[in-house]
Amino acid sequence: MEYQRPQPEPTPTSEPFWTGLANGQVLLQQCDDCDKWVYYPRSHCPHCLSSHLVWKQVSGEGSLYSFTVAPQATAPQFANETPQLIAVVELIEGVRLNTVMVNVEPENLKIGMKVKPVFYPLDDSTLLYFEPH
């Protein structure tokens, strides 16, 4: 059996996010009741449990919250992607997300550095990667 590179499987709730990425846009949910931003996409706001979440386009800019450099693949499915620059980015809206850093040498990664989105196409979907801003 061959390893396949994992891709996101959108749900009815998350579908606008992934469609947004395919169109080169970062869409985030914002709560219409408490005004807080929400990531990952949900049916209810994790701050106030309101169901009034509204999709809004944001810049996708933020800063590097943390990262790791994995010289060996974290799973066999990622064997072609080493070294993996796995990162957590905090968007200016305050939400954090898992991502991968590209267009940067591992030794130049620095927590706090400004980053901007890279729309990274896979076979059936587009991932949200980041690069230095």
Partner 1 sequence: MGLQGKAAVVGVADYKNERKYTGKRKFYIEQWAELTQMALADAGLVKDDIDGICCASIPESTLFAPATIAEYLGLQVNFAEMVDLGGASSVSMIWRAAAAIELGICEAVVCAAPGIPIPSNPNQGKRDPNRFYGSVSANWGSPQAEFDVPYGNVAQNVGYALIAQRYAATYGYDERALAKIAADQRTNAQGNPKAVFYGQPITIDDVLNSKMVAAPLHVLEIVMPCAGGSACIVVSERLARKSKNRPVYVTGCGERLTTRSVTYADDMTVSPVGPAATSAYEMSGKKPGDIDVLQAYDCYTITVLLTMEDAGFCGKGEGLKFVNENSLTFDGSFPVNTHGGQLGAGQAAGMAGGMSQPVEGVRQIMGRAEGRQVPDCNTALITGTGGIMSEQSVIILEGA
Residue 59: CB minimum distance to partner 1, A: 20
- Longest CA pairwise span in the chain (Å): 48
Nearest to partner 1 of 54, 70 (CB atom): 70
C-beta of 25 vs 63, nearer to partner 1: 63
Least distance from C-beta 15 to partner 1, angstroms? 11
**Residues in Cβ contact with 23 at an 8 Å cutoff, skipping those fewer than 6 apart:** none
Cβ-based neighbour number of residue 124 at 10 Å:
11
Q: Which is nearer to partner 1, 105 or 112 (CB)?
A: 112
- What one-letter code names the amino acid at 118? V
The minimum distance between CB 80 and partner 1, in angstroms, equals 11
By the criterion CB under 8 A, which residues form the site for partner 1? Answer: 1, 3-4, 6-11, 14, 40, 65-78, 81, 84, 86, 88, 96-100, 111-112, 122, 125, 127
Q: How far is CA 94 from CA 8, 11, 26, 90, 126, in A?
A: 23, 24, 14, 6, 22
Residue nearer to partner 1 on the CB measure, 23 or 98: 98
Contact 40, 21 (CB under 8 A): no
Q: How far is the CB of 6 from partner 1 (least distance, A)?
A: 5
